[in-house]
A and B are shown apart, each in its own frame.
Chain A
């Protein structure tokens, strides 16, 4: 069965960087885009961007450009999202999610990781 298992909670200080991992299993990792979505406490969902695990190509939401990096390691079927210059308003649960389209982009998410809580606090 398809699973996305994310790394654990982290606490970071303002200005630091954080990196979340998303281990995929149960499907062909390179065949499906991985998206990252975050959710601040008590707030809605915010899309951050995607990575194509096959090519490594990425695309980021405008509000995160320059601060976010998305990479992957196909040998261990894992995607990563790194966010730098952290601020208190980056405190959120970060989710990875699989795009539903095989070998293409559909912009709909059929499987989600369990989420990784990031707390940014001095």
Chain B
């Protein structure tokens, strides 16, 4: 079965750049999306279609893709960015949606 692999944790100091990767185990033409989830809250869509940012999401959040790996980049990390981050993809036919295991971002 198709899997998305994320590092369990990433740590960064305030003001630095955090990069969270998401790797698929097959070449895929589906889009990838990213969500932020803070404790006790529902996920929030951060990036869709690999690199698009919904309205209201700060510009410091960006997405990129290369081969079978997509990357969420958070520039100038702030304390409020401490959260869990999930990548997600879906087949175009609507039969399958998959999430990565999540990455806990710690702001030191």
Interface positions of A (Cβ within 8 A of B): 35, 37, 44-47, 50, 59, 61, 95, 97, 100, 105-110, 112-115
Contact = CB atoms under 8 A, between A and B. Distances in A.
Interface stretch (B10-18, B40-48, B73-81): B40-48
Given A108-B45, A108-B48, A35 B101 contact: no
A45 B43 contact: yes
Contacts, number: 59
Across chains A and B, which 9 residue pairs bring their CB atoms closest together, nearest first? Answer: A107-B90, A112-B42, A47-B97, A45-B99, A105-B94, A44-B102, A108-B33, A108-B48, A44-B101
B96 interface: yes
A107 B91 contact: yes
18 contacts: A37-B99, A44-B86, A44-B102, A45-B43, A46-B99, A47-B98, A47-B99, A59-B94, A61-B96, A95-B43, A100-B48, A107-B92, A108-B31, A108-B45, A108-B48, A108-B88, A109-B43, A110-B54
| Interface-centre pick from B33, B44, B94 (highest chain A CB count, 10 A) | B94
Nearest to B96: A61
Given A45-B102, A108-B88, A108-B90, A115 B97 contact: no
B12 to A, nearest CB: 21
A45 B90 contact: no
A109 B102 contact: no
Interface string B33-73: 10101000011110011000010000000000000000000
Given A100-B45, A108-B45, A112-B43, A44 B99 contact: yes
A59 B91 CA distance: 13
Contacts of B43: 45, 95, 97, 109, 112
Contacts of A95: 42-43
